[in-house]
Amino acid sequence: MATGQIFSKTTQALFYNYKQLPIQRMLDFDFLCGRETPSVAGIINPGSDGFQKLFFGQEEIAIPVHPTIEAACNAHPTADVFINFASFRSAAASSMAALKQPTIRVVAIIAEGVPESDTKQLISYAKANNKVIIGPATVGGIQAGAFKIGDTAGTIDNIIQCKLYRPGSVGFVSKSGGMSNEMYNTIARVTDGIAIGGDVFPGSTLSDHILRFNNIPQVKMMVVLGELGGRDEYSLVEALKQGKVQKPVVAWVSGTCARLFKSEVQFGHAGAKSGGELESAQAKNQALRDAGAVVPTSYEALEGAIKDTFEKLVEDGKISPVTEITPPPIPEDLKTAIKSGKVRAPTHIISTISDDRGEEPCYAGVPMSTIIEQGFGVGDVISLLWFKRSLPRYCTQFIEMCIMLCADHGPCVSGAHNSIVTARAGKDLVSSLGLTPYEFVEGMKKKGIRVPGIGHRIKSRDNRDKRVQLLQKYAHTHFPSVKYMEYAVQVETYTLSKANNLVLNVDGAIGSLFLDLLSGSGMFSKQEIDEIVEIGYLNGLFVLARSIGLIGHTFDQKRLKQPLYRHPWEDVLYTK
């Protein structure tokens, strides 16, 4: 790699905090570029282990998942880039942990809102240890045809349109990640494309990047997009004046419209406001022009200025335009193709007794809320799930009697109960009541455990799970105390401050209310409650309830005369 070049076609990264979409976009980019190895070597998802399946072109691959940064670095010693998708609350600590790993050379931090004092510490640690920090609050950067960070350059269609799948001759640096996509397009239209691109990050200046690009033979000209506010552009003015830059620089500082406003206007970024004449877009454009950069008279003229500069370099024989290649097509995802009506795919299973796709699950077409609000019993649920109809109450009561009478046949025939009780559910909820919800959630986070009973894929603050509401309503009406549930709600209030979907889910509601039932009834000692939780009675409740549905599905398949099931082999990822 040339001095100043951060990435190459063999660079591999560790991706922190599993986010499917940006990882898939990195892998799709790799495939377009003809990389031999995926650019993501491993994923770090605190508390998780195993593999995540993702696509590399048409092939599905299993990327290892590690619970800690240290474990990931040990497993992938040649992956020297750490791409951090942690939230602004966790990004600083995880970035520092990554910087301390001897194998990590570059850390990219995506989150916005990382405290400035933490950022300063990271930057100074990185500088002292000869490491690079990209971000925080960055979309990332791209080495065309070689490596890209996360969501940089947007969708695959955009990447193809901007010809970023192969290297061109232009080095591009921007003070705005959002404007980068626009500029990738502009540059692709009038030159042979980008060699390296990205936004400037807190730990670096525009001139750092231009001087870096100056050392990279592939980069033949540079494009800089600055913005009003701050003095960063003057570092570039100085470098130009001192003759440190030998390649043409086309620059534009946006925000010239600020003068049209009577009072000071804060533009998109924190620093993007004119702090005085010297920090105005006009003054910076003039200073760059005086120092020898090509600076157009307006943003509209920027494209022309880039085009002219490029064509001059071609005329002078300094650039031989790259040979065009056609990148391989990225197969469309099945879900997208089905949605657009392009393909149809056969299903492998028929089910007629239940449906969990809508707002609330239905048993034989009857929604959960009806089942609870109309006071259905277990017999009625069995009637729906087994017989697919609402039998009259005398029938369902008879079913309930049968279950009650057959519930136990004495100690001599008891089954292997231990195989269905696992040591999970609720222990931390019980022992946690001395802790504030904040201490409890953060304590669990430190242990790498996501709070069980919190979080839903579809349900959120504004779209509550009806089942949870029904359980809560019942407990409020009938239970003498709902202190555990109230605690769970306080935990939920705290987790909702982190993300909209971190709601108390049905398992969490049942877990906390089960404890309220035990303690509120006054019929169990504290020691007995601890033991009930420890042994896993709550799992027993779920197993018992689920058995009704499982038996119903068995009957359903037999009724439908379904043949022997063989799972389609194309649905299996055969891997080592």
CA-wise closest residue to 485 among 510, 521, 455: 510
Comparison of 48 and 369: residue with beta carbon closer to ligand ACO: 48
CA-wise closest residue to 62 among 36, 33, 38: 38
Structural contact between residues 145 and 169, judged by C-beta atoms closer than 8 angstroms: no
Q: Does residue 181 bind ligand ACO (CB under 6 A)?
A: no
Residue from the set 11, 95, 119, 138 that interacts with ligand ACO by CB under 6 A: 138
Burial of 55 (0-12, 13-18, 19+ CB in 10 A): middle
Which span sits near ligand ACO by CB under 6 A: 99-107, 132-140, 273-281, 396-404?
132-140
Residues 177, 83, 81, 33, Cα dihedral to 10°: -60
Q: Does residue 17 bind ligand ACO (CB under 6 A)?
A: yes
Q: Rounded to the nearest whole angstrom, what is the least distance from the CB of residue 91 to ligand ACO in the complex?
A: 7
At which residue do the structure tokens 């474990």 appear?
A: 71
Q: Does residue 511 bind ligand ACO (CB under 6 A)?
A: no
Task: Please list, in sequence order, all residues whose beta carbon lies within 8 angstroms of the beta carbon of residue 131, skipping any fewer than 6 positions away.
Answer: 99, 104, 105, 106, 107, 125
Q: Does residue 87 bind ligand ACO (CB under 6 A)?
A: yes
Q: Does residue 24 bind ligand ACO (CB under 6 A)?
A: no
Q: Does residue 304 bind ligand ACO (CB under 6 A)?
A: no
Comparison of 139 and 305: residue with beta carbon closer to ligand ACO: 139
Question: Distance of alpha carbon 146 from its chain centroid, rounded?
Answer: 23
Whether 269 is catalytic is yes
Residue from the set 48, 62, 71, 89 that interacts with ligand ACO by CB under 6 A: 89
Structural contact between residues 4 and 195, judged by C-beta atoms closer than 8 angstroms: no
Instruction: Restricting to residues 514-543, name those near ligand ACO by CB under 6 A.
Output: none
Element (H, E) at 106: strand 106-109
Instruction: Restricting to residues 555-574, name those near ligand ACO by CB under 6 A.
Output: none
User: Among 269, 348, 456, 476, which one carries the catalytic annotation?
Assistant: 269
The CA R_g of the chain, rounded to the nearest whole Å, is 30
Instruction: Restricting to residues 452-471, name those near ligand ACO by CB under 6 A.
Output: 454-455
Q: What CA–CA distance (Å, rounded) separates 575 from 332?
A: 22
Token digits of residue 571: 């649905």
- Beta strand 170-174 pairing with 147-148: unpaired
Comparison of 79 and 91: residue with beta carbon closer to ligand ACO: 91
Comparison of 22 and 248: residue with beta carbon closer to ligand ACO: 22
Residue whose Cβ sits closest to ligand ACO: 177
Token digits of residue 373: 């609000």
Residue from the set 388, 445, 464, 466 that interacts with ligand ACO by CB under 6 A: 445
Q: Does residue 86 bind ligand ACO (CB under 6 A)?
A: yes
Q: Rounded to the nearest whole angstrom, what is the least distance from the CB of residue 68 to ligand ACO in the complex?
A: 15
Residue from the set 189, 289, 388, 450 that interacts with ligand ACO by CB under 6 A: 450
Which span sits near ligand ACO by CB under 6 A: 33-41, 223-231, 344-352, 450-458?
450-458
Structural contact between residues 338 and 344, judged by C-beta atoms closer than 8 angstroms: yes
Element (H, E) at 194: strand 194-199
Question: Distance of alpha carbon 150 from its chain centroid, rounded?
Answer: 10
Residues forming the site for ligand ACO (CB under 6 A): 17, 19, 85-87, 89-90, 110-112, 137-139, 177-178, 441, 445, 450-451, 454-455, 495, 498-499, 502
Catalytic residues: 269
